[in-house]
Amino acid sequence: MSTSMSSRRQCCVVGIGQSVYTKRGGIQDRSQFQVTAQAIKDAVSDSGLATADVDGLSSYSNDANEANLMQVALGIPELRLASMVWGGGGGGSCGAIALACSAIESGRADVVVAYRGLCQGQGKRFGRHGPGRVNGNFVDPFGLMAPPQMLAMVVQRFMHLYPVTEEHLAEVALNARANANRNPYAVMHGRPMTREEYINSRWIAEPLRLFDCCLETDGAAAVVITTRERARDLRTAPIDILSAAQGSGPGWGSGALSGHNMPDPDYASTNGKAVAKEVFGKAGLTADEIDVAQIYDHFSGMVLMALEDFGFCGKGESGTFVASGALRWPNGHLPINTSGGQLSEAYVHGMNLVVEGVRQMRGTSTSQIEKAKTCLVTGGLGVAPTSALILGRN
Amino acid sequence: MAYFSETMPRPEPNMDDGKFWDSCAERCLRIQYCADCDQARHPPTPLCPKCQSAKVEWREVPDSGYIYTYTVVHYAAHPAVSQQLPYVVAAVTFDGCKGVRLVTNITDCDPESIQIGMRVKLWWDDIGNGLYLPRFRLRA
């Protein structure tokens, strides 16, 4: 019923904001904290709300731009939610939004900003060894130190088990680059890539080449979430969050980003099957009813696994699926990563993918899918926990 | 001389995994088992994920196994690996130790010859200060 509590507190995105995106080290004139605060301010302005209306802040991946200081910077008079989800880096992107939705649906907060600020030129470099890795004793001394190496092992086994080749990895990378070249804010805008350039790019960790790996960038992104009722007075059309979920299968906490001890039947996967079931179930949709998707592309091969785990094709069929042109704008069966994704727009730990999902639903993407009414967004894949959400427009 | 250079990060044993490294110091590869339900588990964890028992036994695993998956690493995520590039990291499994994978290196090989399923044999790499790390070579 439209007047029920659950309907009135149905969550929607009413504002999006992002900083300039640059290559790592490109933002030197202001701090990561300032970049992030300004992205939040821009998202709030976009919604037509004031920062004084914000009463919740949500993030993930141990975001260094702490909510307590963000409250000070933004002049938020009363903060009712200051929370972060645990776990695997970008795996928390949609998880932070799921958390925001839980808080809003329960009445604990009314206007929550989910955000991520990540200037790798100012902090740690994710592709390098760093302190504090989960079960670091069992990986660091063996030279397994960073996600490209760790997830290369998963992609390697995936390609061993199923008919997936470098041509299929290439298609994910080439699609992202083509989309980025329609997006003037993408770091790789103006840098088209040929198949030959992809194949000739240097190995990072086999089977992953340089262009199979996400960019190293500086940037921040934020989205404003509130109730559909609150959104009625605002100037932008609200974009419904039809569902959002976070979760993990067994063993993944010491899985791909740790000792590689996830269950065998699940090894060559995204750890996203349960989350997929949950977001489709809650939204009352099937994979066939998704018009466009933003799939977390830290590494090309993980995108292929996601296409299978989220049911867009069968297990082992992702190679054939992408070879058919399914991913391509504007007429592919499932256009993905329409801003250029993290392979070619920017690596903001997936929050930029959520922002692009909202643009698709608003009709303002630079690779707009005509008449798109549903968009799946995933969080980081092959990590624990992972997450996903489905956006919809009326 | 150790496989990687001396500035390579070393294990820093803690209360949950210390017994694993104590065994390595004796050049014996022991994996944690549940003393109540016999479930093997790795990396070490305080409770059995199957029956939640805190009783553990450390049992020696065979000194040979096979490659479950691997990567050939071509860049230095840490300066200490520079001289070994490209090097092979593998997840190795052992007969009779279901569900356990050990992240390790396959050394003394042509990295391009490595394939999933190859049999490998344990050797102990002396990293100094009385600690040894389990690494593997292709089995002849």
User: Radius of gyration over alpha carbons of chain A, in Å?
Assistant: 19
Residue closest to A256 by CA, chosen among A86, A91, A118: A91
- pLDDT greater than 50 at residue A1: no
Residue closest to A241 by CA, chosen among A389, A54, A90: A389
- The whole-model pTM stands at 0.98
User: Is A135 close to B91, i.e. CB distance below 8 A?
Assistant: no
- pLDDT for residue A4: 52
User: Is A153 close to B91, i.e. CB distance below 8 A?
Assistant: yes
The string of pLDDT tens digits covering residues A112-153 is 999 999 999 999 899 999 988 889 999 999 999 999 999 999
- Respond yes or no: is residue A296 known to be catalytic: yes
- pLDDT greater than 70 at residue A282: yes
**Alpha-carbon distance A271 to nearest alpha carbon in chain B (angstroms):** 17
How far is it, in rounded angstroms, from Cα A346 to Cα A188?
8
Mean pLDDT of chain B: 97
Confirm or reject contact between B84 and chain A (CB < 8 A): yes
What are the phi and psi torsion angles at B75 (to 5°)?
-135, 160
Which residue from A minimizes the CA distance to B43? Answer: A259
ipTM: 0.98
CB A126 within 8 A of CB A146: yes
How far is it, in rounded angstroms, from Cα B86 to Cα A188?
28
What percent of chain B shows pLDDT beyond 90?
Answer: 95
- Cis preceding linkage at B49, omega within 30: no
DSSP-assigned states of every residue in A10-69 = -EEEEEEEE---EETT---SS-HHHHHHHHHHHHHHHHT--GGG--EEEEETT-SS-HHH
Tell me which chain A residues have a C-beta less than 8 angstroms from the C-beta of B99. Answer: 261, 263-264
- Respond yes or no: is residue A347 known to be catalytic: yes
**Alpha-carbon distance B140 to nearest alpha carbon in chain A (angstroms):** 23
For the segment A336-361, the average pLDDT, to the nearest whole number, is: 98
Residue A206 half-sphere exposure toward CB, CA atoms < 13 A: 18
- pLDDT for residue A266: 95
- pLDDT for residue A2: 42
For the segment A63-81, the average pLDDT, to the nearest whole number, is: 97
Which residue from A minimizes the CA distance to B88? Answer: A143
Tell me which chain B residues have a C-beta less than 8 angstroms from the C-beta of A152. Answer: 71, 73
**Alpha-carbon distance A254 to nearest alpha carbon in chain B (angstroms):** 7
